[in-house]
Amino acid sequence: MDKNEILEKSRKENENRDEMERTITIEGESFSLAFTLMAGLAIVAYNHFHNLPSDSVMIMFWTSCVSSRLYRLTKRGDTSDLITMIISLVILVFYVVKYFSQG
């Protein structure tokens, strides 16, 4: 192999590694949010059956969603990230206002 072939092979390996890292990051983020949602739903269900408020749990979950979308938006600039961030932000604001208005 000559120098150019070695450099080209190395460049392709780096591209593949970078793509794999991006995929792992995105899948890890989604996995984390899914488990956060499941834990939050369990707490909300428990609180509902015991007449306890759950707004603080929802605030934590939606804060996680907003921050995740904001980070992805700054890295990728994808319109879908902006839309999901705005939706998550509206829901977050709803729960924050509800939490502080109820004492």
Q: How high is the pLDDT of residue 56?
A: 86
Tokens (6 digits) for 78: 């994808």
Q: How high is the pLDDT of residue 46?
A: 92
Q: How high is the pLDDT of residue 94?
A: 94
End-to-end CA distance of the chain: 72
Q: How high is the pLDDT of residue 86?
A: 94
Q: Find the Cα–Cα–Cα–Cα dihedral 63, 67, 68, 70, rounded to 10°.
A: 140
DSSP H or E stretch at residue 66: helix 55-76
With a threshold of 0.75, does the pTM exceed it? no
Tens digit of pLDDT per residue, the chain (103 long)? 677 777 777 777 777 777 777 777 777 777 777 888 888 889 889 988 999 888 888 888 889 889 888 888 888 888 888 898 999 999 999 999 988 898 5
Task: For helices 55-76 and 79-101, give the axis angle rounded to 10 degrees.
Answer: 160
